[in-house]
Amino acid sequence: MRPHSCAEPSHAGRRLVAVDRITSLSAVATPERFTTIPAVIGAPMAGGPTTPELVTAVSTAGGLGVLAAGYLPAEQLAADIGAVRVLLPPRAPFGVNLFAPPPGPADPVDVAEYATRLAPLADAAGVALGRPRFDDDDFERKLQVVRVLRPPVVTFAFGRPEPGLVDELHGLGVAVWVTITSREEAEHAAEGGADAIIAQGAEAGGHRGGFEDSDEPPLPLDELLADVVPIGTPVIAAGGIMDAGDARRVFRLGATAVQAGTAFLLTPQAGTAAVHRTAIAAPGDTVLTRAFSGRRARGIVNAWTTRIGAEAPRAYPEVHHLTASLRASGRREGNADLVNLWAGTEHVRALPVPAAKVVAELARGLT
Ligand SMILES: Cc1cc2nc3c(=O)[nH]c(=O)nc-3n(C[C@H](O)[C@H](O)[C@H](O)COP(=O)(O)O)c2cc1C
């Protein structure tokens, strides 16, 4: 039998709903907005570490896991949300993390110069560098997935959503949490209607999630908490939270919840590459670098960050695309010098235990 096309008369004589009306129709039954903030949040970790299994394990254990939509095709995000919904107990919450679009393309000359510096690495690895294109990570289509599938929470990195979008998401029953790295950003997020702010301290692994890719020295988590807790919007503390003692400390400083990333990187549910796991388990310094993506992020020091990291331009996501094939070859070949080894300053304390154990350990900080 031929499948029905949109608006074609069905065999019952009724007309099928056109696809572009599905969103507005599905918005009719508005559920209650999700307002709970579980004490332990599993940080979204784009690029492989966050899997639907990790999100499910965190949320099943009483925390809240967050899918990392960054770099994913919108279709994959939709599939991952579906997978989490199938795996989760009914009514257990979860979130989706989106990257707010970058402000605009970087200077192509800067990117070309950095490509010249990377060429010997690419030659030695036998791979071609990627095309350094500018894009918005398919933001609108991912937003459309969120509008239709309505995860309980959407968290934003790299910028706050426009107040109109916050209102729209609230109307769909979706809570909005915004990553901030300063008091000023926290005030903007609160004024824009955020239900919670994710305060990311200097210790945090991965990208700086603030609104701008600044050169300012990042604030240590405890100082940031002192600045933003008085605003009055619930604060989720992120950066270097590895055990109950760390969690207890930030709860006492006024945090409502903790968001941990690095503490989950060695769990069996994480999709962390083998070469990345090895580096996390070994003692080693971390550094803030634009080497891999063109935007400052914290990772474990390797030959790439040491030799040419300082020359990387502020050019996200162009540099991310430029280096993608080289980083993939490093993961494939187990060459740690070619991989962005994102990790927080406390990475050596990460444990290879099930994600539920990490959640239970962090939750002990509440007692
Ligand atoms: C491997 C890795 C990937 C990350 N990717 C994201 C991401 O996609 N979106 C985001 O908002 N934060 C991301 N982060 C930052 C986390 O949200 C969080 O701020 C950080 O993990 C907290 O510090 P910790 O790693 O010391 O726990 C990432 C962190 C790591 C370690």
Residue 23 in any domain: the answer is no
> Which ligand 1 atom sits closest to the C-alpha of 241?
27
Summarised one tens digit per residue, pLDDT across range 37-81 is 999 999 999 999 999 999 999 999 999 999 999 999 999 999 999
Summarised one tens digit per residue, pLDDT across range 332-342 is 999 999 999 99
Radius of gyration of the chain (CA): 21
Rounded to whole angstroms, the Cα distance separating 298 from 301 reads 9
pLDDT of residue 164: 96
The answer to whether the beta carbons of residues 177 and 197 sit under 8 Å apart is yes
Closest among 247, 242, 197, 238 to 366, alpha carbons compared: 247
Q: For the whole model, what pTM was predicted? A: 0.92
Query: What is the CATH number for 258?
Result: 3.20.20.70
230 and 189 within one domain: yes
- Cis amide linkage into residue 283, ω under 30° from 0: no
Instruction: Please give the residue range of the domain that contains residue 153.
Output: 31-101+136-268+352-367
The packing angle between helices 355-363 and 244-252, to 10°, is: 40
Ligand 1 centroid from CA 14, angstroms: 49
pLDDT of residue 91: 84
The answer to whether the beta carbons of residues 224 and 181 sit under 8 Å apart is yes
Arithmetic mean of pLDDT over the chain:
92
**From 80, 158, 203, 207, mutation site for ligand 1 pocket: most ligand atoms within 8 A of C-beta:** 207
The packing angle between helices 74-87 and 139-149, to 10°, is: 30
Rounded to whole angstroms, the Cα distance separating 33 from 46 reads 26
365 and 256 within one domain: yes
252 and 213 within one domain: yes
Domain count along the chain: 2
> Which ligand 1 atom sits closest to the C-alpha of 240?
26
Closest among 41, 61, 40, 58 to 367, alpha carbons compared: 40
71 and 116 within one domain: no
Q: Does the structure show a pLDDT above 60 at 24?
A: no
Q: Which two tokens stand for residue 86?
A: 């199938």
Summarised one tens digit per residue, pLDDT across range 341-364 is 999 999 999 999 999 999 999 999
Q: Does the structure show a pLDDT above 90 at 20?
A: no
